[in-house]
């Protein structure tokens, strides 16, 4: 599904190498964790995947599509295939959980009937069916992140990118969020997650790609957190 082919990214006129000859692939329905110290290149890699940044050299493919040859007008259609979850939730504070998720569907041109059907289903999937009309300030950190996950999945993307999704959460909320991501993966959505959390990685027992100074230094099919 996803293929990075000898991808390098150099900033500041060659003085800063964010990625160096990165090659790997992600199959449909995989759950892949990407680990590494701050500055290892994890975020740059994700930006390549959603076409927020371009390689200095190499190519990134989604199926047979070279992501960085997509026209500007076609990018929104491509990005609808990807749902994104951030460390800081990025919920709109003046909107309820329902409205935050509905807003993502409205932006994709979905009908009122689709919104009315799919938003409650997404909230049920993340175990927040009783928090439909709560505002973000009425939710715990873990509940906010679960709303963010519901928002990411409501348009039924092929891939979920979760960038440090448990970075601001306590251990119990971290466990709940990871279990939901596993459930989403089990339902057939590819998940790519970056994390610093050793406990999360060790508990998952799924594929782990380890990065260091812009390079992939390990790629284990059932990995542990090794740095």
Q: Give the count of domains, the chain.
A: 1
Question: Which residues, 6 or more positions from 82, have their beta carbon under 8 angstroms from its beta carbon?
Answer: 49, 50, 157, 158, 159, 160, 161
Q: What does the pLDDT read at residue 118? A: 96
At 80, which CATH number? 3.40.50.300
**Residue whose structure tokens are 């082919």:** 5
- Cβ(110)–Cβ(186) below 8 Å: no
For residue 211, is it within any domain? yes
pLDDT at residue 224 tops 80: no
Q: What is the pLDDT of residues 80-127, one digit of tens each?
A: 999 999 989 999 999 999 999 999 999 989 999 999 999 999 999 999
For residue 69, is it within any domain? no
For residue 65, is it within any domain? no
Helices first, then strands: H and E counts in the chain: 7, 10
Q: What is the pLDDT of residues 133-178, one digit of tens each?
A: 999 999 999 999 999 999 999 999 999 999 999 988 999 999 999 9
Phi, psi of 118 (to 5 degrees): -85, -30
How far apart (Å, rounded) are the C-alpha atoms in residues 20 and 72? 26
For residue 67, is it within any domain? no
How far apart (Å, rounded) are the C-alpha atoms in residues 96 and 92? 8
Phi, psi of 188 (to 5 degrees): 110, 10
Please provide the distance, in angstroms rounded to a whole number, between the alpha carbons at the two ends of the chain: 27
For residue 79, is it within any domain? yes
For residue 86, is it within any domain? yes
202-205: long-range pairs with CB below 8 Å, 24+:
203/178, 204/31, 204/33, 204/178
The 3-state DSSP class for residue 105 equals helix
Q: What is the pLDDT of residues 4-34, one digit of tens each?
A: 999 999 987 767 889 999 999 999 999 999 9
For residue 24, is it within any domain? no
Q: What does the pLDDT read at residue 196? A: 84
For residue 93, is it within any domain? yes
| pTM of structure | 0.93
pLDDT at residue 199 tops 90: no
Report residue 227's pLDDT band, with 50, 70 and 90 as the boundaries: low
Provide the residue range defining the domain that includes 118: 29-57+75-220
How far apart (Å, rounded) are the C-alpha atoms in residues 44 and 72? 20
């Amino acid at each position: 599904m996803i293929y990075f082919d000898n991808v390098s990214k150099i900033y500041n006129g060659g003085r800063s190498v964010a990625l160096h000859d990165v090659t790997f692939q992600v199959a449909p329905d995989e759950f892949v964790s990407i680990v590494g110290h701050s500055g290892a290149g994890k975020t740059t890699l994700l930006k390549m995947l959603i076409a927020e940044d371009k390689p200095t050299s190499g190519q990134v493919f989604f199926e047979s599509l070279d992501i960085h040859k997509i026209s500007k007008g076609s990018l929104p259609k491509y990005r609808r295939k990807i749902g994104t979850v951030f460390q800081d939730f990025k919920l709109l504070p003046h909107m309820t959980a329902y409205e935050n998720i509905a807003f993502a569907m409205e932006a994709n041109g979905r009908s009122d009937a689709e919104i009315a059907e799919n938003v409650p289903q997404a909230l049920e999937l993340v175990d927040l069916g009783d928090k439909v009309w709560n505002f973000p300030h009425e939710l715990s950190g873990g509940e906010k992140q679960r709303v963010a996950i519901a928002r990411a999945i409501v348009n039924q993307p092929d891939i979920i990118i979760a960038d440090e999704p448990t970075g601001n959460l306590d251990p119990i909320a971290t466990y709940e969020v990871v279990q939901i991501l596993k459930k989403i993966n089990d339902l057939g959505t590819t998940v790519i997650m970056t994390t610093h959390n050793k406990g999360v990685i060790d508990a998952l027992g799924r594929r782990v790609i380890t990065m260091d100074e812009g390079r992939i230094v390990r790629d284990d099919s059932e990995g542990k957190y090794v740095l």
